[in-house]
Amino acid sequence: MEVPFVDLKAQYRLIAQEIDRAISDVISKTAFIGGYFTKEFEKAFCHYLGVSHCVGVGNGTDALYIALRSLGVGQGDEVITVANSFVATSEAITMTGAKVIFVDCDPVFYNIDLKKVENAITSKTKAIIPVHLYGMPVDMPTLMEIARKYELIVVEDAAQAHGARIGERKVGTWGHAACFSFYPGKNLGAYGDAGAIVTNDEALAVYARMLANHGRVEKYDHEFEGVNSRMDGIQAAVLSVKLKYLDEWNEKRRLNAKCYTEQLKSTGIIVPKEDDSIYNVYHLYVIRVGNRDEVREHLKRKGISTGIHYPVALPNLTAYKYLGHRPEDFPIATRFSKQILSLPMYPELGEDQLNYVCEELKKVAIPIEEEL
C-alpha cells in the first residue's frame, strides 16, 4: 500500500469545481497582484481569527521579517526564539539586522521552554517569537505575562497552526502581531507561496502593508524604501475557497491523530501529548523512537512516506556556527532531532492507511529507553 506524506491531489479532487472557478475568476478579472481577491481573503481571514487587520504577503518568511521590521526590530536588538523550528523563523530575525537568541524546547510539548525564556532576556532583548510547532499552541497566557513584565514585543509564528486554539481563543490573536505561511502543505495551503501578517494594531498594519509594497501608499508615492512581497490574486482566491473547509479539515486531522495515538500509546513509542485546554490542529503528527533512521527506511520500503521536522536543531546548523553554540547548550532540541519522525498526516488519510502505518511501525520501532 502507498501512503504519501501529504496528498494535495486528494484534497483538490474534493473541491475541484470551486477551485477551478476561483482561479478562472482571477484570470477573467486580471487581478493578479493584490486587488479584489486578496482584499476579500484578508477580510475573511480577519473574521475567521477575530482580528482587525490582515496583510497578505508573498510568503511566511517575509511575513515574519516585515512584522519585525514594522515593530522597530533592527540592528543592535536581540530576538528570542526556540531552538527547534524551521530556519525561516531565525532567518527572519537575522534579516532585520537583529541577533537571534535561541532557547531550548520544552520536553513535553516541544514548544519553547518558557521556564528558560527569562534567563535569555538581556538589556538588548526587543522581542520574542514563539513558534506554535506542529500545530500545538505555545502557552501564550504565560508568555504574554513574561513579555509584559519586560516590555517585550511578541510576534507569533503561526505557520503551522491555522485554527489552533487556547480555550476558545485562536493562536495569532495573542501577540502584537502574528505571521502565517500558506505554503501548499499547510493546514490552510495555497497553490504556491503566500503568507500573511495579522494584528489588532492599525498603525502596524498600515506600515507593514507599505513596507511590503516598496514603502508606498500610491503607485509612485514612496515614503521609504520597502520590499516587494505581495500576495497574488490566484493564491488569495484559492485560500478563500479553502478557508471555508479549514475547521472541518482540522477536525479530521485530530481524528487521525487520535487513531495514531490509540494504536501506538502502549508500544513505548513517544506520541504527542494532549492538553484538554489546547486545540492542537496537528499540522504534523510527530513521534519519537529509539531507531528513527531504521524505522524511516523500513516504512519507505513499505510505501509509507515520512518526514523529519527537523533533523538539525537550529543552533547546530552551519548557518549559525558564528554564534559559537555547542549541541549540549540545547540538550532537548539536540536529542529530539535524532529521534523525531513525522508520520503521514492530512484530512483525507484513510483508516486503512492509518492502520497500515501503525502495523508497519510497530514491527521495527524501538522505544525510547530513557522514558520507559
Q: Which residues have a Cβ under 8 Å from the Cβ of 152 and sit 6 or more positions away?
A: 121, 125, 126, 127, 128, 146
pLDDT recorded at residue 372:
38
Query: pLDDT for 142-167, tens place per residue?
Result: 999 999 999 999 999 999 999 999 99
Q: Which residues pair with 195 in a beta bridge?
A: 57, 181
Q: C-alpha cell of 44?
A: 475573511
Question: Does residue 279 have a cis bond before it (omega within 30 degrees)?
Answer: no
Return the beta strands (E) in 150-232 as ranges.
153-157, 165-166, 169-170, 177-181, 195-199
Q: Is the pLDDT of residue 217 over 90?
A: no
pLDDT cut 90: percent of the chain above it: 96
Q: Which residues have a Cβ under 8 Å from the Cβ of 17 and sit 6 or more positions away?
A: none
Whole-angstrom Cα distance, residue 241 to residue 190? 10
Dihedral, CA atoms, 5, 353, 243, 178, nearest 10 degrees?
Answer: -50
Query: pLDDT for 168-208, tens place per residue?
Result: 999 999 999 999 999 999 999 999 999 999 999 999 999 99
On whether the CB atoms of residues 332 and 104 are closer than 8 A, the answer is yes
pLDDT recorded at residue 220:
83
Cα dihedral sign, 219-199-135-40 = negative
Q: CATH assignment of 8-243?
A: 3.40.640.10
List b or e across 157-169, with b for residues whose CB sees 16 or more CB atoms inside 10 angstroms: bbbbbbbbbbeee
370: pLDDT confidence band, cut at 50, 70 and 90?
low
Q: C-alpha cell of 37?
A: 481577491
If DSSP codes are grouped into helix, strand and coil, which group holds residue 120?
helix
pLDDT recorded at residue 219:
79
Question: For the residues 229-246, what does the mean pLDDT come to?
Answer: 98
On whether the CB atoms of residues 203 and 299 are closer than 8 A, the answer is no
Q: C-alpha cell of 213?
A: 509594497
On whether the CB atoms of residues 212 and 191 are closer than 8 A, the answer is no
Write the single-letter amino acid at 253: R
SS3 content of the chain, % helix, strand, coil (to 5): 45, 15, 40
If DSSP codes are grouped into helix, strand and coil, which group holds residue 156?
strand
pLDDT recorded at residue 218:
77
What's the burial of 347, exposed, middle or buried (CB within 10 Å: 0-12/13-18/19+)?
buried
Whole-angstrom Cα distance, residue 269 to residue 289? 6
List b or e across 299-312, with b for residues whose CB sees 16 or more CB atoms inside 10 angstroms: beebebbbbbbbeb
Dihedral, CA atoms, 91, 156, 257, 272, nearest 10 degrees?
Answer: 80
pLDDT cut 70: percent of the chain above it: 99
Query: pLDDT for 270-314, tens place per residue?
Result: 999 999 999 999 999 999 999 999 999 999 999 999 999 999 999
DSSP letters along 3-68, please? B-S--HHHHHHHHHHHHHHHHHHHHHHT--BSHHHHHHHHHHHHHHHT-SEEEEES-HHHHHHHHH
Query: pLDDT for 36-73, tens place per residue?
Result: 999 999 999 999 999 999 999 999 999 999 999 999 99
> Nearest CA to 59 among 202, 232, 308?
232
Write the single-letter amino acid at 309: H
Query: pLDDT for 252-272, tens place per residue?
Result: 999 999 999 999 988 999 999
Query: From 3.90.1150.10, 3.40.50.2300, 3.40.190.10, 3.30.450.20, which CATH number describes the 246-371 domain?
Result: 3.90.1150.10
Query: pLDDT for 330-343, tens place per residue?
Result: 999 999 999 999 99
On whether the CB atoms of residues 197 and 208 are closer than 8 A, the answer is yes
Q: C-alpha cell of 86?
A: 524551521
Per-domain boundaries in the chain:
8-243, 246-371
Whether 246-371 and 8-243 are alike in CATH topology: the answer is no
Q: Which residue has the cell 500509546?
A: 265
